[in-house]
Structure 1
Amino acid sequence: MSPMAEIYGVSFYGDQIEVTVTKNAAVVNDWINSHRGRLHKLLVGLDIEWLPCFNPEENHPVALLQLCVGRRCLLFQLLHKDAVPRFLVDFLMDPNFKFVGVGVKGDAEKLLRDHKLLVTNTVDLNQLALSVYG
């Protein structure tokens, strides 16, 4: 295990998910590079986390960016990052990739406000679920 990342195996309904946790830009770049050449049109799960706000004056920045491709996930600790990974900036702006999640457009807007990370191609799964099951 690298001192720059921790890798966990997580069982989920019989599937094994590999989760990489890091604050290191080089680890993020390596994770992204492992996906870029494989698929032209990539579906990427995206979610963010931050400390809750208990009054209107509070606005805590995004602390954690979660990206998932297939059975591999990356948890990037944005508040502790050593740098903004160049490949992450390009990855999030790539129009060939779709970033999916519930409330993902709002997550993308918060990422842009808090960390100047632009996500260009989002698909909200909440709307999709409502159209199929609503």
Structure 2
Amino acid sequence: MEHLVRDAALRTRVYHIKAEGMVLKVTVTLQARMVEKWIRGVKRDFLDAATTKCIGLDCDLTDPRVPNQCATVLQLTVASETLVFQIIHADRVPQVLKDFLQDGNIRFCGAAISNDVKKLDRYDIHITSAYDLQKVVPNPSTKPTPSLYDLANYTIGTNLEQRKKYNHKKKIDVAAQEKEDEIIFGWAIIH
């Protein structure tokens, strides 16, 4: 994930990613006002008219070897819109976001989501309606715990493959690959 805080002029970036025949819009930000704008937009464009309101949620966390781990990035996906909020570097955590995540009419879905929910407590964020897809969606694989790739492929009928992060002991662009993978998963989860 890009670290936007280094350049004050680039505190928000919008990407249009084409994958599997889909065009996804990704807003990467550390500005609270952009989070508020994104929430207003997805409510208006997708959630207000939906009978079932479902949002993909994922967090990146600080180094697991360090005690008191917390969320560094919060990712929300609705339809073709994804918000990547670099919460650890944000100017503030907007009340609009807290209220949005506490809305009991919206289902927030992810994998091992209970850990994400716990790590957001530091920001006074309390998610009341969280669903762990690894427990809700039937396991389409022979593994004890299906991966998000397994669930996405089963749910939307694709054949996405997890790309390797290392190739002959050389790192590829891991951050870019992880961002693309998370966006595709978020889209797949809610469809």
TM-score by length of 2: 0.62
Count of aligned positions: 129
Structure 2 counterpart of 1:21, from 21, 24, 28:
28
1:80-106 CA-partner distances (Å, limit 9, x unpaired): 111111110110001111000111122
Question: Residue 63 of structure 1: SS of its match in structure 2?
Answer: strand
Give the conservation status (yes or no) of the 8 Å contact 1:4–1:27: no
Question: Residue 47 of structure 2: SS of its match in structure 1?
Answer: coil
CA distance in 1 between counterparts of 2:139 and 2:91 reads 42
1:76-129 CA-partner distances (Å, limit 9, x unpaired): 0111111111110110001111000111122112211x2111111011110123
The structure carrying a bigger helix percent of its residues is 2
The residue that corresponds to 1:30 in the other structure is 37
Task: Give the root-mean-square deviation of aligned CA atoms.
Answer: 1.8
The residue that corresponds to 2:55 in the other structure is 44
Gaps of 5+ in 1: none
Structure 2 counterpart of 1:93, from 102, 127, 143:
102
Gaps of 5+ in 2: 1-8, 142-191
CA distance in 2 between counterparts of 1:6 and 1:86 reads 22
Larger radius of gyration: 2
Structure 2 counterpart of 1:78, from 78, 87, 95:
87
Give the conservation status (yes or no) of the 8 Å contact 2:69–2:119: no
The residue that corresponds to 2:126 in the other structure is 118
Amino acid at match of 2:103: D
The structure carrying a bigger strand percent of its residues is 1
CA distance in 2 between counterparts of 1:111 and 1:24 reads 17
Give the conservation status (yes or no) of the 8 Å contact 2:11–2:31: yes
Higher relative contact order (CA 8 A, sep 6+): 1
CA distance in 1 between counterparts of 2:63 and 2:17 reads 26
Give the conservation status (yes or no) of the 8 Å contact 1:7–1:18: yes
